[in-house]
Amino acid sequence: MKKIYYKIMISSIYTAQHNGFMSDIWKFASGIYFAFATSIYLTFIYLLLNNYIIKNKLNFLILQISSVKHYNSVLNITLYLITPIMLLHYYLFLSGDKYKALIKQYKKQYSKKMFAWYFMLSFLVLFICLFLNPNV
Model confidence at 106, in pLDDT bands (50, 70, 90)?
A: confident
Note the pTM of the prediction, 2 decimals.
0.78
Q: Around Cβ 63, how many Cβ atoms within 10 Å?
A: 12
User: What pLDDT sits at residue 134?
Assistant: 60
String of DSSP letters for 29-84? HHHHHHHHHHHHHHHHHHHHIIIIISTTTTGGG----SSSHHHHHHHHHIIIIIHH
* Mean of pLDDT values over 5-33: 84
Average model confidence (pLDDT) across the chain: 81
Those residues whose C-beta lies under 8 Å from the C-beta of residue 77, and which sit 6 or more positions away, are 39, 43
User: What pLDDT sits at residue 84?
Assistant: 92
pLDDT tens digit string along 83-100?
999 998 888 888 888 888
Alpha-carbon distance 113 to 11, whole Å?
Answer: 7
String of DSSP letters for 106-121? TGGG-SSHHHHHHHHH
Model confidence at 33, in pLDDT bands (50, 70, 90)?
A: confident
Q: 15: closest CA among 29, 3, 5?
A: 29
**8 Å CB contact between 16 and 26:** yes
- Say if residue 136's pLDDT is above 60: no
